[in-house]
Amino acid sequence: MTRSGAAQSGAANPAPGPDRPALSRRSLIRAGAAAAALMLAGCTAEAAGEDPTAGPSATGGSGPTARFTFATAARPVTLDPALASDTESFRVSRQVLEGLVGVDALTSAPVPLLATGWTQSEDRKTYTFELRRDVMFHDGEPFNAEAVRRNFERWYHLPESVRSGGSLMYKSVFRGYSDTPATAVYKSCEVEDEYTVRVELNTPMESFIAALAAPPFAISSPKALAEAGADSLTRELNGRRVSGYGVHPVGTGPFRFVAWNEDTVELAANPGYWGEKGQIGSVVFRTISSPEGRLRALKKGEVDGYDLVTVNDVGDLARNGQRIQQRDPYSVLYLGINQNFPGLDSVLMRQAVAHAIDKPAVLDGLFLNGTKPANQFMPEKLGLTSDSVTGYGYDPEKARELLEEAGYDGRELPFYYPRRVTRSYLPAPEKVYARLSAQLTAAGFNIRPVPVDWSEGYLEKVQGKEDRAFHLLGLAGSYEGGDNFLGTLFGRYTEEFSFNDPEVFTGIEKAARLPEGQDQTDAYHAVSDRISQRVPAVPLAFPISALALSPRVSSYPTSPVLHEVFNRVSLTDR
């Protein structure tokens, strides 16, 4: 998950007409106007080679021809979004694959995409989707109800060998797979006709529609999945075993996959794209791990933009006439605590950690203006923050008292932190670690630094069974819903925290089932309060993230949930 409020917002109902009776929100959710707005786009990049499997341009002519080069801070892990949990994998897959549900550019609310609309049953457990017609996958296969069914069934039946230690978004959203049906929210997906599909859930889930807008639920070509052996780990890439499909995705999006060579991913405009094509004819994602390298490449004109602007970049960008485009905050940075490490199963010791940290001092000068210290894991954007969470003010003396009460014997505590990377929630990992380590040491903790290069499996190490006490990580939201944060982080037992609290698990499950309203808000508040008491991790900040763009870019579709598809980029002639 991309490590990864108010409850889900539905798409608006169409106006009643002579052939369409008025329908309630519960019975029909559509947004034709919103969908049209979502499809309108301007984009750009130099012409890419033709794909023999792609159909002719829907509008005729040569199609988009401009080239757009974007610098990223890390390599993708896989281009199969169903098996991904990192931002850079999703950044690429969003260009190639689309889901049934999209994201409104202004509000981040869910809107129709490959589905033109959907109905919801009175018991809130059955959804019937009407699908867009005359849409083709990049390999020439038709998009239809059977393709949707096969994708849902693939997610549900994912073999354990490819589930990435349980960190996939499917598990956090749908709770279980086919081998654990008692916990699974998903029940079945049935074809009603060529362009109508029905999805049944075992229990209601208010964020179901919003969650379908997240990249892991994009629809892949069933033919490509089968031919590439999508669920068999068959290739070694960048030090990680991935499926064949994970290096050659096939979707319905505005761009098709061309090549992935070490630090470069190349895409080309899909000439048969059903929506607005925009300006961009080819896209190049270029990995530049250092902020200084990304800034230098932008100033030289080697890239058109890059994400994850740091505090040190801002002045230089302004002096050189580059534009900074900021996103609304929708991520959380936290200090993870592994309760399997000796001593950290004591809540007193975890509370000591919370009291030892001076959050404003950690953030000062390292994060963009607007970043706020966090006392819980729900960003303000969701409207679900609780006023009654347990507060842990900076109090080193109190921390030392709690350590003594917990019986801490000075044991060395390995603290993992990433190197050679910038994340939206962590712009300067080494410096943030240094400040936290100094504060914890001053309070009496014996800290041992464990730096790990991000590209050498940092996520796997801190979300697995490594012998660690603490780690730095965060979650960037992928869809509008409280379950995206509390459910992803604490909705079940994970190796990341080794946190096992049935009261929290059932509370999150209850909140996710409730319809949007005060009851659901109260349920999320109760969970946040309980988490603050148990301290499975310490929330540190709700960071502001921003990207830098060259003067050549006149418009870029920034999104708090990172739904930034490049057919909506506009370029000038410069």
Number of continuous H segments (helices) and E segments (strands) in the chain: 16, 26
Cβ-contact 129, 118 below 8 angstroms: yes
Sole residue written with tokens 């990995």: 287
* Alpha helical stretches, state H, 14-117: 32-39, 87-96
For Cα atoms 560, 562, 564, give the angle at the middle one, nearest 5 degrees.
120
CA distance 383 to 491: 19
State the pLDDT at residue 167. Answer: 78
With helix as H, strand as E and coil as C, how does 417-468 read?
Answer: EEECCCECCECCHHHHHHHHHHHHHHCCCEEEEEEEEHHHCHHHHHCCCCCC
pLDDT at 13: 35
Cβ–Cβ under 8 Å, residues 2 and 85? yes
The single-letter DSSP state of residue 515 is: P
The pLDDT of residue 243? 86
Query: Given pLDDT bands bounded at 50, 70 and 90, which one contains residue 234?
Result: confident
Instruction: Report the alpha-carbon distance of residue 436 to residue 521 in Å, rounded.
Output: 32
Asked whether 216 and 82 are in contact (CB, 8 A), the reply is yes
Question: In 3D, which of 361, 352, 308, 351 has the Cα closest to residue 331?
Answer: 308
In this structure, what token pair is assigned to residue 166? 């349980």
Cα–Cα distance, 140 to 54 (Å, whole number): 6
Percent of the chain with pLDDT over 90: 81
How far is residue 427's CA from residue 448's CA, in Å, rounded to a whole number? 22
Cβ pair 520, 487 in contact under 8 A: no
pLDDT at 83 exceeding the cut of 90? yes
Chain CA centroid to CA 155, Å? 17
User: 104 near 222, Cβ under 8 Å?
Assistant: no
Give pLDDT, residue 44: 31
- Choose from 148-157, 238-247, 310-319 the range with maximum mean pLDDT: 148-157
Average pLDDT over residues 428-442: 98
**Rounded CA gap, 72 and 79, in Å?**
15
Distance CA(312)–CA(328), nearest Å, equals: 20
- What Rg value do the Cα atoms of the chain yield, rounded? 23
Reported pTM: 0.85
Query: What is the percent of the chain with per-residue pLDDT over 70, rounded to a whole number?
Result: 88
Residue type, 422: T
Strand pairing class (570-571; 553-555)? antiparallel
Contact 167, 463 (CB under 8 A): yes
Whether the pLDDT of residue 516 is over 70: the answer is yes
pLDDT tens-digit series, residues 167-226: 789 999 999 999 999 999 999 999 999 999 999 999 999 999 999 999 999 999 999 999
Residue 264, C-beta contacts closer than 8 angstroms, at least 6 positions apart:
284, 285, 286, 287
Q: Where would I find the H helices in 161-310? A: 169-174, 208-211, 222-227, 291-299
- The answer to whether 348 and 356 are in contact (CB under 8 A) is no
Q: Span 146-165, mean pLDDT? A: 92
Residue range 86-133, pLDDT digits in tens: 999 999 999 999 999 999 988 899 999 999 999 999 999 999 999 999
pLDDT digit string, tens, across residues 331-350: 999 999 999 999 999 999 99
Query: Does 12 have pLDDT greater than 80?
Result: no
Distance CA 240, CA 258 (A): 20
> Where would I find the H helices in 321-428?
347-356, 359-363, 396-406
Segment 431-439 long-range contacts (CB within 8 Å, at least 24 positions apart): 431/366, 432/333, 432/362, 432/366, 432/472, 433/472, 435/361, 435/362, 435/366, 436/335, 436/357, 436/362, 436/472, 439/356, 439/357, 439/358, 439/361, 439/362, 439/396
